[in-house]
Structure 1
Amino acid sequence: MRAILIAAALLTAAAPAAQALEAGAVAPTAASTPASAFERDRQSILAQAGQYRVHFDMRENVSFQADYDPLEEQLSGGSEIVRVVYDQGDRISLQHILVMEHEGQVIVIKHWRQDWVYQPQTVLTYAGPNQWVLTPVPADQRQGAWSQTVWQTDDSPRYGGVGRWTYDNGLSAWTSDPTWRPLARRDAVRNPVYDRYLGTNRHILTPNGWVHIQDNVKMSGKAGGAPVAVVQEDVINTYDRSTGYSPAAGDAYWAKTQGFWAAVRQAWDDAIVAGNGVHLQQEAQTGSVTGAPLMDLAQSLADGETTEADAIAQARVLIAEATSAR
C-alpha cells in the first residue's frame, strides 16, 4: 500500500511543467467520415487510449450555504497511460495506469477504469452511503446512448451514468445524465460537511488528447431526508499526449497482473448480479475497504512473491466477505 500513498502525495502536489508532446502527433478523432453513427461513437471512446500527461484543476465556485466558504483552487498532475482492456464492439473497457517518478524510482499504480456499453439495459449507479444498485435504463433513454461506469483502483464501483456522443460545433463530446457519486479521496479525508456529489460528466476529444469536465454539486445527506446542496465545483482533467516519460513500467505491470485483475472484475460482476447491486464499506484513504488488500495482492503478484492462482483465490474471498457484510 506504500506505493498508493506515494502516488496520492504526488497527485496532490503542484503539477510540474508539461512534458513535450509527441512530435507531429495527431490525436485520433471521430470527426472523419464514419461507417455509421455507432462506429463514430466507438472511435471517440477508443481515442481516449494512449500515453498522457494529465493536469487536474478543481475549483469550488458557488456556495449555497451561508456558513460555507468554497475551497481554494486545487491543481495537480501526473503521468498516465490508458490501455484498452477489451473491445467487444458494443462494450469497451479502458484501464488507466499511473506511471510516476519519485526520488529516482518509477512508481506504477493501477488507477481508475472506465467501461462503456452501447444501449445498456441497466447501469450501476451510486445510491447513497456504501450502496450501489443496478438501475434499469428505459428503452427511449438507451436508444443510441452509451453508459459509462467508472471503477476504483481495486475495480470496486464508483459511479455510472448514461449519455450520448454528439458532434456539434466541431466537438466530439459525450455528456452524461446527472450522476450520483461518493466522495473522492481529496474530499473524504477532510471529513467535510457534504458526503456525496451530483455530477454531470463530459468527455471531449481535443487536438492533443481529450478532456474530462465535471460539473459537481456537493451535497449533504448527513441530516437525513433529501440531500441538500452545499457548493458547486468545476473539475477539468486534461489528458495531453506525451512522450516525456517511458510507459514501459506501466505496461510491464499490466502484463503481469492483467489475468488477476480480469478475475477480480469477474468477482465484482458476480457479486453485483447476485445482489442486483452491491453494498460495500468505504474508507476515506483508500476508497473501498477492499482497496488496500486487493492492490497489495496485485503488487505481490507483479513482484513475483505470490502466484496468480493464489492471488485470485484470496481476492475472491476478500470480495465475498466485503460484499456480504451489512
Structure 2
Amino acid sequence: MSIKYAAKLGTALFSLALLTSPALAHPPIPDRPADVEKSAFEADRADILAMAGNFKVRFDMQESTPWAADYEPRERKISGGHEVVKIVEDSGTKIVLQHLLVVDMGEKDFIVKHWRQDWEYQPEKILAYSDRNRWEYQPISEKRRNGRWSQTVYQVDDSPRYAGLGEWETQGGVRRWRSSWTWRPLARRDAVRNPVYDRYYAINRHSPMPNGWIHFQDNTKMGMVDGKLVPIVQEYVLNTYTKFDGYNVQAAEDYWTKTKDYWAEVRKTWDAAFASNNGVTVEEEAETGTVISAELLEMGTKIAEDEMDAAAATKKARALITKATKPGAVQSAQNGVRSSNY
C-alpha cells in the first residue's frame, strides 16, 4: 500500500476521529458513594503531586509500524537530561506543574523553561488542538467529566500544545491515568525534518513508579495526502522520570525564583487571549514552536541573569502575545509544518 493509497484507509479513521471528541472517548464513570469519591480524588491528587521533584529523565522514541508500505520507520532514538518539576499552583481541584531542564554547559549550567502540565478535576472544557496553528475550547458534559481529570500541556513559552481527559485507575496493581484520543502538533524533533506527516493522534498514559513516574505516548503520525488526512506510521515514546539529585538543582531553583513572576504574567496574557477567542490561533515554525517563543524565552533568561528588568520584559511579552494572537496575525495556517518544542 503506497502513501497515496493510504488516503483511502485514512479517510474512515479521520472521519471517526472528528466525530469522537475527547469527551466521548470513555463511557461515564458510575456515581460512587461520597466517601469512595473523596478517597479516589485524594489518591488522584497524590499521584499528580508526586510528579514534582528532581529527576533524571530518559526519552525513548521508536517509530514502529508503517501504515503506508513505502514509508520506512526511523531508527530508535534515546536521549536524556535532568529536570526539576515545580508545583506552581495547587488549589485542590487544579494543579500546575512546571518543568525546568538543567543543561550542563561546562562552566555554567543553562536552564531551559521546558513544558508545563495543568491538571484540572472535572473540567467544564478543555483547550484542545484543532488544526495547524489553532487550539479551541471543547465543552465537557457533566456526565463525561464526572470523576475525571484533564491534563493540558503547554509549550516552553506557555502557549498551548494539547489537552486530554482521563480517569486515574488501578489495573493489575498499576496506577495510571489514560487520556482520551488527543490531537497534537509535531514535536520539534520531527518538525525540523519536514516529514510527510504533520500532526499526531495519540493516547497518553502517566503512571507513578516506586522511584518516580513514566509518561507513555502511543502516537499515530498523520499527514495530508491528496487533501485527506491519513496515518503514516505508529510511534511509541516512553519518558521515564527517575528521582535524582546529583546535578545542579539549585540552578533551576534560582532561575525560577527570579523569573516566576514574569512567567505568571505571561500565563495571564495567554489566558486572556484564549478567553477572548474561544481558544487561540498563533503561527508556529518548526525550529522554535510559536514565532514568539524564542523572544519570550530569551527575556526569561535575561531576567534570571540580571540583564533585563522584569517589568520591561513583562510589558514586551504582553505586546508580543497580543500581536501574535490577533485575528489575521497568522500568515498561512496551512503553509508548511508547524510544531512545538516538546
TM-score range relative to shorter protein: 0.7 to 0.9
Indicate the SS of the match to 2:71. coil
Q: Is 2:198 the partner of 1:195?
A: yes
- Secondary structure, aligned partner of 1:58: strand
Q: Which residue of 2 aligns with 1:284?
A: 286
Q: What does the per-residue CA deviation read over 1:162-207, in whole Å, with 9 as the maximum and x for residues that have no partner?
A: 0010022221210000100000000000000000000100000001
User: In 1, Cα distance between the equivalents of 2:307 and 2:246?
Assistant: 31
Q: Secondary structure at the match of 2:70?
A: coil
- After superposition, the CA RMSD in angstroms is 1.3
- 3-state SS, counterpart of residue 221 of structure 1: strand
Q: 1:229 aligns with which of 223, 228, 231?
A: 231
Q: What is the match of residue 129 of structure 2?
A: 126
Residue pair 2:109, 2:248 contacting (<8 A) in 1 also: no
Q: Which residue is equivalent to 1:140?
A: 143
Which residue of 199, 212, 216 corresponds with 2:215?
212
Residue in structure 2 matched with residue 110 of structure 1 by the alignment: 113
**Paired amino acid for 1:107:** F
Q: Answer yes or no: is the 8 Å Cα contact 2:126–2:150 preserved in 1.
A: yes
Letter matched to residue 61 of structure 2: M
Select which of 85, 90, 101 maps to 1:87. 90
Gap runs ≥5 in structure 1? 1-32
| Aligned-residue offset at 1:66 | 1.5
Whole-angstrom distance in 1 between the partners of 2:110 and 2:305: 13
What TM-score results when the alignment is normalised by the length of structure 1? Answer: 0.88
**Judging changes above 3 Å, is the alpha-carbon distance between structure 1 residues 104 and 304 closer, same or farther for their aligned structure 2 residues?**
closer
Cα pair 1:116 1:146 within 8 Å, conserved: yes
Answer yes or no: is the 8 Å Cα contact 1:34–1:40 preserved in 2. no
**Stretch of structure 1 that moved more, 196-205 or 161-170:** 161-170
Matched, 1:260 2:262: yes
SS at match of 2:253: helix
Measured in 2, the distance between the counterparts of 1:163 and 1:34 equals 16
Match of 1:28 in 2: none
AA in 2 matched with 1:136: P
Deviations 1:93-117 (A, max 9, x none): 0000011212332111110000000
Q: Report the equivalent of 1:9.
A: none
Q: Does structure 2 retain, via aligned residues, the 8 Å contact 1:193–1:220? A: yes
Query: Partners of 1:34 and 1:275 in 2: how far apart?
Result: 35
Task: Determine if the alignment matches structure 1 residue 302 to structure 2 residue 272.
Answer: no
Identify the residue that residue 70 of structure 1 maps to in structure 2.
73
Specify the alignment match of 1:242 in structure 2: 244
1:179 is aligned to 182
1:289-311 CA-to-partner distances (Å, cap 9, x unmatched) read 12101001111111112211111
Residue equivalent to 1:149:
152
Output aligned runs, 1:35-74, within 5 Å: 36-74=39-77
Partner of residue 160, structure 1 = 163
Taking the aligned partners of 2:235 and 2:277, their CA distance within structure 1 comes to 33
| Distance in 1, Cα, partners of 2:152 & 2:299 | 24
> Residues 212 and 238 of structure 1 are in contact (CA less than 8 Å); yes or no, is this contact kept in structure 2?
yes
For residues 50-80 of structure 1, the C-alpha deviation after alignment (integer angstroms, 9 at most, x for no partner) is 1000000000000011110000000000001
Q: Percent of aligned positions with the same letter in both sequences?
A: 50
Deviation digits for residues 137-170 of structure 1, max 9, x if unmatched? 1222100000000001100111011001002222
Quote the offset at 1:221 in angstroms.
Answer: 2.7
Partner in structure 1 of residue 276 of structure 2: 274
Q: Secondary structure at the match of 1:272?
A: helix
The 2-side partners of 1:290 and 1:143 are apart by 37
Letter in 2 for 1:105: K
Match of 2:295 in 1: 293
User: 1 CA distance for matches of 2:225 and 2:193?
Assistant: 15
Q: Could you list the per-position Cα deviations for residues 216-267 of structure 1 after superposition, in whole angstroms to 9, with x for gaps in the alignment?
A: 0000136424x20000000000000012213000010000000000000000
